[in-house]
Structure 1
Amino acid sequence: MVHWPLLLLAALPVWGQEPLNPDNMLPGCPDIVPRSEWGALPSSCLKPLNLPVEYVVVSHTAGQPCNSASSCEQQMRNIQFYHINTLGWCDIAYNFLIGEDGLIYEGRGWSTLGAHTGPAWNPISLGISFIGNFMERAPSPRALRAAQSLISCGLQHQAIARQYMIKGHRDVQNTASPGDRLYAKLRTWPHYRE
């Protein structure tokens, strides 16, 4: 004889237990490719990001582009390897990355402090980076839509403040990132502030 109430209780999370991978399972949000799917190395980052953040800083990786799940997953592994093994960081620098396949890739996620924009901006911003170099060309329309959907998701779930501001990487550091063509697109977004 099956005791249905006991089965239902067994399916519920333990009191105080974190929900399963909250960075990817926010209701009403776009799918986010989790670290486990793109083959991430374990993170040794421990500093939390205080939410909601007031800023979203958009950059580009300035490396090779990707336009398929397999090529974007490889680029994610390449970027993480470089950030950990060459730069000595605790993980990939960005909270999320956007491929031209239109998918969002989990970097450090919603709740871990990034290393994308320097010590003044990292604690107050979410770092989103487009995979590729966007000096001469803009990202694909589906990549731009994915970034906007991710920002809407963060807003909906109070990871991003209601009166947030979008900044290009070059607005807060001396860099060419996010590239001239992506920067031109970014400047047309409603919450952009120089």
Structure 2
Amino acid sequence: MRTIQDSAIAEKGLPDIQSNFYVSDEGNIYVGRGWDWANTYANQTLAVTFMGDYGRFRPSVKQLEGVQFLLAHAVANNYLEVDYKLVGQNQTKTTKSPGVNVYREIRKWPHFYGCGLDDEAPACGIELGMKPESWMGKQ
């Protein structure tokens, strides 16, 4: 976690770590910015990072369960709305994140929202009053 934080500060010029939470391959949940601080991606969102390279590897069952537990906890404790929308970072900007293997999994989850997938789909964040160009790297 310290290496991730150091990279965000030194290499990306950010004031702190980027995501609210990070989930390891073992299913451990690490607090990044936590519940009370906005992540660096967009206000009114919760950023959860799968720790690992999921362009090459598949997320573990424990990791997927850890993320699902975190999301259920967030709903149960009013950190997320019951009807929240799940979006991959690759839907909001040109990036390989979260990795094809994670993306393949989360597309099956009940709250997955197909925004930004093609010209027919709504732009991600439109329901929050955001413009597509307000996402980092999205023109």
The alignment's TM-score, normalised by the length of structure 1, stands at 0.57
Moved over 3 A (4+): none
Query: 1:71-106: CA deviations, max 9, x gaps?
Result: xxxxx1111001012212111000000001210000
The structure with more radius of gyration: 1
Matched, 1:87 2:7: no
Aligned pair partner of 1:111 in 25, 36, 39: 36
> For residue 81 of structure 1, what is the amino acid of its counterpart?
D
Q: Percent identity?
A: 32
Give the Cα separation in 2 of the matches to 1:98 and 1:163: 22
Report the equivalent of 1:70.
none
Report the equivalent of 1:191.
111
Report the equivalent of 1:164.
84
Say if 1:103 and 1:143, in contact at 8 Å, map to a contact too: yes
Count of residues in correspondence between the two structures: 114
Query: 1:106-142: CA deviations, max 9, x gaps?
Result: 0000110111x3xxxx102100001111012211100
**Over the residues paired in the alignment, what is the CA RMSD in angstroms?**
0.8
Give the Cα separation in 2 of the matches to 1:83 and 1:137: 23
> For residue 140 of structure 1, what is the amino acid of its counterpart?
S
> For residue 94 of structure 1, what is the amino acid of its counterpart?
S
Matched, 1:126 2:63: no
Structure 1, gaps ≥5 residues long: 1-75
Structure 2, gaps ≥5 residues long: 115-139
SS of the equivalent of 1:97 reads strand
Structure ranking higher on relative contact order (CA contacts 8 Å, 6+ apart): 1
Report the equivalent of 1:64.
none
Q: Which has the higher strand share?
A: 1
Report the equivalent of 1:49.
none
